Amino acid sequence: MRRDVCKSACALLMAAGGIMFTSAANAETTLDLATTSPQADGTSALFYRTDLQPTGTGVIQPFVRIQAKPTESGYNTDGVIEFDTKDNPGNWTHSITLSQVPIVTIGGVQYREFVLDINESTSQNNRFLSMNEFELYQSNTNILTSFNKTTHTFASPANVTTLVYDMDASGDKLVRMDYSLASGSGSGDMFVYVRNSLFTGAGQYVYLYSAFGNPDGSDAGFEEWATRPASNPPTVPLPASLWGGMMLLGAMGAAKIRSRRRSA
pLDDT tens column, 192-242: 999 999 999 889 999 999 999 999 999 888 999 999 886 665 555 445 344
Task: Indicate the SS3 state at residue 184.
Answer: coil
Q: Contact, 35 vs 128, CB < 8 A?
A: no
CB environment 21-41: b (16+ within 10 A), e (fewer): eebeeeebbbbbbbeebbbbb
Domain ranges for the chain: 3-236
User: Residue 53: is its pLDDT beyond 60?
Assistant: no
**Of 124, 119, 207, nearest in space to 161 by CA:** 207
pLDDT band at 12 (very low <50, low <70, confident <90, very high): very low
User: Residue 148: is its pLDDT beyond 70?
Assistant: yes
Q: Contact, 120 vs 66, CB < 8 A?
A: no
Task: Indicate the SS3 state at residue 35.
Answer: coil
Task: Indicate the SS3 state at residue 246.
Answer: helix
pLDDT band at 10 (very low <50, low <70, confident <90, very high): very low
**Of 161, 214, 193, 191, nearest in space to 43 by CA:** 193
User: Residue 122: is its pLDDT beyond 90?
Assistant: no
